[in-house]
Amino acid sequence: MPELPEVETTRRGIEPYIEGRVIKALRVRERRLRWPVAEQLEAVLPGQTVYVVGRRGKYLCLTLDNGTLILHLGMSGSLRLVEADTPAGTHDHLDLAFEDGHCLRLRDPRRFGALLWTEKDPCQHPRLAALGPEPLSGDFDGDYLYRRSRGRRVAVKAFLMDSRVVAGIGNIYANEALFLAGIRPGIAAGRLSNPRCQRLAKAVKEVLVAAIEQGGTTLRDFQREDGQPGYFQQELKVYGRKGEPCPSCGGPIRSRVIAQRASYYCPACQA
DNA sequence: CAACGGACCTGCCTGC
DNA sequence: TGCAGGCAGGTCCGTT
């Protein structure tokens, strides 16, 4: 569900409600997420203030007094703001309750998400330390892509989705960026010319910015923290559109599996 | 080191 | 209607 635009949409949605607020309690209904939620957390968090609601790739980072809460939504996670007395549903695993009565609730049916805690520099946390640059930052550009891709034989789509190369690009936006750039998802990353790397970096930024502006993509059950859907699915050019006409040339969109993930492209527009 | 497959989970859709 | 099978937005880990 959540790639970078969905996580950023969530971040922007919760920020005004939790920044500067004091945590009253963490309620854990299901500890078994991707990694078990640390037992110490219920004791450690109360009384701490949320100073910064940040994001690194697909990770949300809440800066508190004594450390940082690191939250990942996995494949199916979503955050909602609810009143403290709202009854919890089946997959509502965690509540972060605040002294003002608001409550940040994590729902995650597949339990691939995670809640982690570090008292050190969060960038040094094992989950964050190896992440590549933020795709919307100046550190990510065509020259960087060109440099990193030399000698790489992996499919360019798998390369884009490698979080060590660039953070936050998942299956939807990898497909979309490659379509925008006119590049076939299956070609070896190392064979991209420099101009094509420039175009690809630009396409990645464009598609992410547009998706964030639309509040992310809603497929199946993704909802924003306020319960509204994201509208970017209407803008998807190729993802999930096997057999439909290419918005550029009208030919049928093709689908094939690359690196175990469904991939969509226009064989006429992408070379 | 690079690349691949399996693993972790549940829900939903399809087709028999 | 019921059920098996396949598939899903992520990413870690072990094996080649």
pLDDT at A242: 93
For B13, nearest residue by CA–C1' is A220
Instruction: Give tens-digit pLDDT for A152-205.
Output: 999 999 999 999 999 999 999 999 999 999 999 999 999 999 999 999 999 999
**A84 vs A101: CA distance, rounded Å:** 6
Residue A261 CA distance to nucleotide B6 C1' (Å): 14
pLDDT at A40: 95
pTM of the model: 0.96
Contact A120, A103 (CB under 8 A): no
Q: Which has the closest alpha carbon to A210: A184, A173, A240, A175?
A: A173
**A165 vs A151: CA distance, rounded Å:** 14
Whether the CB of A111 is less than 7 Å away from nucleic strand B comes out as yes
**Residue A98: strand pairing partners:** A23
A164 is catalytic: no
Cβ neighbours of residue A128 closer than 8 Å, sequence gap 6 or more:
A56, A57, A59, A70, A122
Whether the CB of A260 is less than 7 Å away from nucleic strand B comes out as yes
Low pLDDT (below 50) residues in chain A: none
Whether the CB of A170 is less than 7 Å away from nucleic strand C comes out as yes
**A102 vs A20: CA distance, rounded Å:** 13
Residue type, A60: L
A2 is catalytic: yes
Residue A220 CA distance to nucleotide C4 C1' (Å): 22
pLDDT at A229: 77
pLDDT at A216: 84
Q: What value, to the nearest 5°, has the Cα angle with vertex A46 and ends A43 and A47?
A: 135
